[in-house]
Amino acid sequence: MTYRAPIADMKFALTEIAGHPADDDTLGPILEEAAKLAGDVLAPINRSGDIEGAVLENGVVRAPKGFKEAYAKFVDGGWNAVPCDPAFGGQGLPWTVATPVAEMWNSANMAFALCPLLNQGAIELLSAHGTPQQKALYLAKMISGEWTGTMNLTEPHAGSDLGLLKTRAEPQGDHFRLKGQKIFITWGEHDMAANTIHMVLARTPTAPAGSKGISLFLVPKYLVQPDGQMNGRNDLRCVSIEHKLGINGSPTCVMAFGDNDGAVGYLIGRENRGLEAMFTMMNNERLGVGLQGVAIAERSYQGALAYARERKQGRDIKGGRDTVAIVEHPDVKRMLLTMKSGIDAMRALTYYTAAELDRAKASGDAASMARVDLLTPIVKAWNTDLGCAITSIGVQIHGGMGFIEEIGAAQHFRDARIAPIYEGTNGIQAQDLAFRKVVRDGGKAMRALIAEMDADFADGMGYPSEKASLDALESATAYLVKAGQESPEAAAAAATPYLALVGTVVGQWMLTRQAKAAQRHLDAGTGDRAFLELKITLARFYAQNTLPQAMAAAMAVAGGAEITALDEAVL
């Protein structure tokens, strides 16, 4: 199953939604070169990697055939360094550019792309919280991709509630000795890079109970001397590889630290403040996971569209032909439009958020950072829920062939399912949106977003459902703020439908903005007419077929009484 990066769609979202300069002559070549690597190198080993999977042999995890060679090309091309600090060998390009490039890796081969995704988060964490010595010793090789990074949070008894973790860190001179076990460690052990730098949460002997007693440690697979040379294996190992529903090419490891004297680790940031530092990495990962929702949906859509154009089945409903390609059937068109409009909405939202992040970092703009904070749980949760729904539609369009593994549609469905779970389940994202991003400031940031959407809709394409959905969102926001102050349990019950409501309305906002931009180009006689007309069609279709779901979600926001009143013992 081939993949070709949708460069025209990417550029349109970048320039018309994210505000990237339309006259940037470097953008096209970057996207085109990334597309070659994604389409010609990573995509061809996606299916084989899923079948073969990663293998643990004599303590060494071997990536599927072709992954190591592909990773070498990835590193040689400088792709790992795209958004990183030039002081340590990075290219210093904005997240607005790095985001579509990362979309390509995830569309082409999500299992492979998880390795640089985790490494990028580790780089962000170390850049923000590491000492000058730690940065000098590790950052350059992590940025180049010569070394990779991981995050080690979860333990068998401590998943979302990290306050329960038991991994211990005993001080010993200028370092600590760690003992404990972590699970679900993505690319925790592998043979693609020379060293792996683990970011590990653990407790020191004097740590208070709960989340306030968690510290963060840098634990290298191979110990590193002051001159940067590796010096022997650290006391850590991969115990086993998880057998998973999807992303089988990515080794998800059970990691043991300290079977003997204890794994050598170095404190990052302040003792007992590790969870705060780790959230630097997790926030980065949450945007990256939201992008996976876009990417895997795009890959599924490309396969479904190609199949629908080739597969001949059923009579022409308009009459005249006995057998037509299924793409001509109205219900298949409906499914394809549902996929495409959702993908366009997700992509525009994710690129827009990346641009706001660039603005916040460049100028310290508080309004941009507040917008990023508000949108991050939506990008993560709404995108990944929609990614699962879209890949399911992809299977449906293939019919019985979609249910057979050989065709490839089922793999996208399986791969997509992890995204609503890791880096904070989508239920946790909804709680974060409800309590930290809406209730905490009395709805101020959300109302600012509603006002901006209202202005765009008023000057937009005139879809009646836009105003109705905004009114529903405003009422739901008022309910949530009041509930959060008076009955936190009711607010918690409302959080997930509230996030679905926000995501659905924001999706229309993105598509309306794209439609307005497309109309401007049509009026000016610039651009590809068919491409631009499709943008308008997608906005209209979404407004008529998807946006009404916002009103249903708004009803559910206020419908939590049965949830809060339920005695769980009766279930």
378: domain CATH number? 1.20.140.10
**Ranges in the chain, pLDDT < 70:** 1
Domain residues for the domain of 357 are: 277-564
User: 227: helix, coil or strand?
Assistant: coil
**pLDDT confidence of residue 89:** 97
**pLDDT confidence of residue 459:** 84
CA distance 380 to 377: 5
Closest by CA position to 345, among listed 463, 498, 473, 514: 514
Establish if 559 belongs to a structural domain.
yes
Establish if 352 belongs to a structural domain.
yes
CA distance 46 to 375: 30
114: tokens are 């998880």
Establish if 400 belongs to a structural domain.
yes
Establish if 197 belongs to a structural domain.
no
**pLDDT confidence of residue 1:** 66
Establish if 305 belongs to a structural domain.
yes
**pLDDT confidence of residue 7:** 98
525: tokens are 């006689």
Establish if 43 belongs to a structural domain.
no
**pLDDT confidence of residue 320:** 76
CA distance 123 to 115: 12
Establish if 55 belongs to a structural domain.
no
**pLDDT confidence of residue 284:** 80
113-139 confidence digits (pLDDT tens)? 999 999 999 999 999 999 999 999 999
DSSP 328: G
**pLDDT confidence of residue 226:** 94
CA distance 552 to 496: 13
Pick the catalytic residue from 16, 189, 356, 423: 423
CA distance 54 to 62: 6
Number of domains in the chain: 1
**pLDDT confidence of residue 269:** 95
> Does residue 423 carry a catalytic annotation?
yes
Q: Supply the DSSP string of 409-427, one letter for each residue.
A: HHHHHHHHTTTTTSSS-HH
